[in-house]
A and B are shown apart, each in its own frame.
Chain A
């Protein structure tokens, strides 16, 4: 007797028993039943990468109000929505980001441009300007609570988070107390005759202070000793600096030579990483509160968002009407980026260009996560990688980038040739990071 069995499918196992029930799903894991699975996944990844680009609409809105160029931006430490901006016309505006309204307007806060702004605790604001005054404001009122007269035009101001001390930068760094009308100490490096352009307190060890100046220097001070501890002379001057919120010894400098330099202050002989991408001087930088990314704004009219540890290919934001970006800020929820530019607007951008604002359902989130993991998995593919990498740039920026590359290449070739025609071993190639620092003083 031959035993025979013929394939028979159970209808009830494959169809919904009652109307409205979900249809049962069956899976066959035999790879032969899934031909072209790799090729199809690649197509899906390519589509995901393209969708990511299609959805990338980073511009959220512009905060108007200033008559002249915006010079500084400041965020309040414990608020998600309060941001202050100071302008060349001497006005200061406190914005509410979520409603895009003005909380306070101080049209004549200073004579001449406002150069520094920072929040001092609860609803108080410190501002300094080229009129040689530091003013302390209560946010609701029009008159300053206090005026601190100085001898020189101020360039920058920063307040300690947990005390009443603040520091100003002019030709020297001065430490002030809110309750005293004269500076309590002056900090300078013995041999310096420079103009300090920016000063910031360390976020963790609040007695440490860093400044950058026109002498192409980057200086570290300690309030307790009352003197400059270290000083580093670089190839080009830095315009702004920012301490990392998560790694207290890390600091970021926005340099005039188009690069950003990340330093670990334990090793000042070379930057730990160089962030290359801008095609003109970088005017400002600010860390995201998570410490995983930071934003920079440049003279090339672009805002760039960098991933920590990845020194190239940042996200680039630009619009037609945005001029030189003088100040940038990451909001405290790490979702948005602010930029203040020469055209007098403060612009709000998304931190992730293709992020969807508003409520995202669980299914949608799952789809977004699946897409991003697909792109991450296939980013080495030539086409997918190209879509992921390519950013449209304004023509002048693109041309400047090309020109810059040509110049750097020719410089490199020249160097190479020179080395080839000198005696062997006489000149060694110097690594890019070692070139940055000219001298280290202490």
Chain B
């Protein structure tokens, strides 16, 4: 019995034992004889960076020394080390992986301007395969709208008179061509090029690649615009009745139906990073919608007059939005705070249809208005600039003739430097250097040369990973983040909540609270920042200061005696002395504020004189 206990006490934990043997026996014994094969190749080879053991490398992961529970500490350290290691590996991979460069247009001479480049120049300089991106299609079906698939390989066009076609842009092979014979407003590809939906006069219809009608979506009545959310498998439409409808294309269910109550709507776009739909209305409002909210998540009055186009920047997590109104102005908005537009300017020739706006993958903004398309690069359009002047132009492209007007659609081709313009005489594709993302990703389906098997595989995987529609939120990082703290108060220390806390028995308190009550809580984590900030003498003092002491301290400092005097006065008695003191305090406050402002902004006149000043009451009267 005692022998067993003695042995058990003497026995070391397994991990320690292993470590010790490893250290004490560094030289290879007879059993560790090096392998001949590996010796022969070791001179000429090296392990890939990603496969090398990182145990001896120091990763600066937190060690969690303040946590007493060894099991918890170990798992935390393990997790943080793993994260640090994988981040290091990721940074390695970014360096090592070949990344295809993106295109650009740079002026070598300070007097040169990139916007002077014509398409002919660009085509001449691009040469080869890239030059084939410049194409003109002359079609008679009225103003056209255009749509690309996710990988930018296939394109669908729809003419107002009912001409629908889908084709492969690389080979030029036409998949299907339909003459529907009724007004068609929009076209959108579903998960890939094998299905597309068309917004027709009465309903939306789904066609397969060969142009066979698959579904008639009777719920979508007289749709104007369509949008497909690829990760949620939702087809959304908005129409002349002003209803936004979501239909799940994998199950066929109508997921949500929102009444916008803002009349007919013909502007719809999606934010690809959080799957929120942006609607532009006749009254100048832009509204943001999710399936799980019956009212808009955000509603902004963007323009004075109807909206003509809205687009969301995919290059910065959907942070910026561009809107164009029929009032002839374009505004760029920051979607994190809606305090007015970041930048706005007026278009020279907006035409009667209003302008079209579209962001490219790399954050290029194209604006098509009147008879020309102007393109702007990123930093200048997103920096606040007060006078409403045009940002510096990057490229411009005029349509060949006035008969091409109006421009009804602008689409950048993903993964390519191509912008396709839909207009009254067909479509034209122009080259825009620096518009497309260079690196392809096979797993995400962002592959221009994706094969049939890859496409099928991706379709199945996409269905398995389908995100439920009610998980669409403004903040896409909400999933998997920490839950908000519980509203149930369990504060057991004194104060107003103590009576309630007393009702909760000790055994039913949360663990952290129980530890705190029993004095075993780990306060080091909170203490660290305090200790760093305050002096050593301060940190030794008890942190808790009772109310009286606080009050006493508050009395000190300059100019507080007036306030103390006021506090002692009775509030409901109007005493001329007290009134005077109150006025004096107000005056001092204003002076202090002015001083601070002066330090901050320099001395310039704070308020501009306005026409309404004449009605202002002077303070002396």
Contact = CB atoms under 8 A, between A and B. Distances in A.
A7 B438 contact: yes
A8 to B, nearest CB: 4
A202 interface: yes
| 8 interchain residue pairs of minimum CB distance | A28-B439, A6-B126, A205-B4, A28-B441, A6-B130, A4-B125, A7-B103, A14-B449
A413 to B, nearest CB: 8
Contacts of B93: 29
A434 interface: no
A82 to B, nearest CB: 29
A47 B476 contact: no
A8 B464 contact: no
A336 B94 CA distance: 46
Contacts of A34: 441, 444
B4 A2 contact: no
B454 A205 contact: no
Interface stretch (B25-33, B104-112, B218-226, B249-257): B104-112
A4 B126 contact: yes
Given A38-B480, A249-B8, A429 B105 contact: no
Contacts of A42: 479-480
A9 B108 contact: no
Interface stretch (B113-121, B294-302, B531-539): B113-121
A225 B2 CA distance: 11
A416 B3 CA distance: 44
B440 to A, nearest CB: 5
Contact of B507 (A40, A249, A429): A429
Interface of B: 1, 3-5, 7-9, 90, 93-94, 97, 99-109, 112-114, 116-117, 121-122, 125-126, 128-131, 133, 231, 272-273, 275, 314-317, 415-417, 431, 433, 435-444, 446-449, 451, 453-454, 464-468, 471, 476-477, 479-480, 505-507
A2 B8 contact: no
Give the most central of A6, A15, A33: most B CB within 10 Å: A6
A204 interface: yes
A40 B439 contact: no
A266 B275 contact: no
B220 to A, nearest CB: 25
Contact of A4 (B5, B117, B415, B439): B117
Contacts of B7: 204-205, 248
A383 to B, nearest CB: 10
A157 B88 CA distance: 59
Contacts of B116: 2
Nearest to A34: B444
A337 B448 CA distance: 53
B100 A7 contact: yes
Interface stretch (A19-27, A61-69, A192-200): A19-27
A1 interface: yes
Nearest to B413: A7
B9 A266 contact: yes
Contacts of B8: 247-249, 266
Contact of B446 (A1, A28, A381): A28
A359 interface: no
B5 A2 contact: no
Interface in A200-219: 202, 204-205, 208
24 contacts: A2-B106, A4-B433, A6-B126, A6-B133, A11-B129, A29-B94, A32-B317, A33-B444, A33-B446, A34-B444, A35-B273, A35-B476, A36-B273, A36-B476, A38-B476, A38-B477, A39-B476, A40-B467, A42-B479, A204-B7, A208-B1, A247-B8, A265-B5, A416-B505
A220 B231 contact: no
Contacts of B117: 2, 4
Give the most central of B440, B446, B507: most A CB within 10 Å: B440
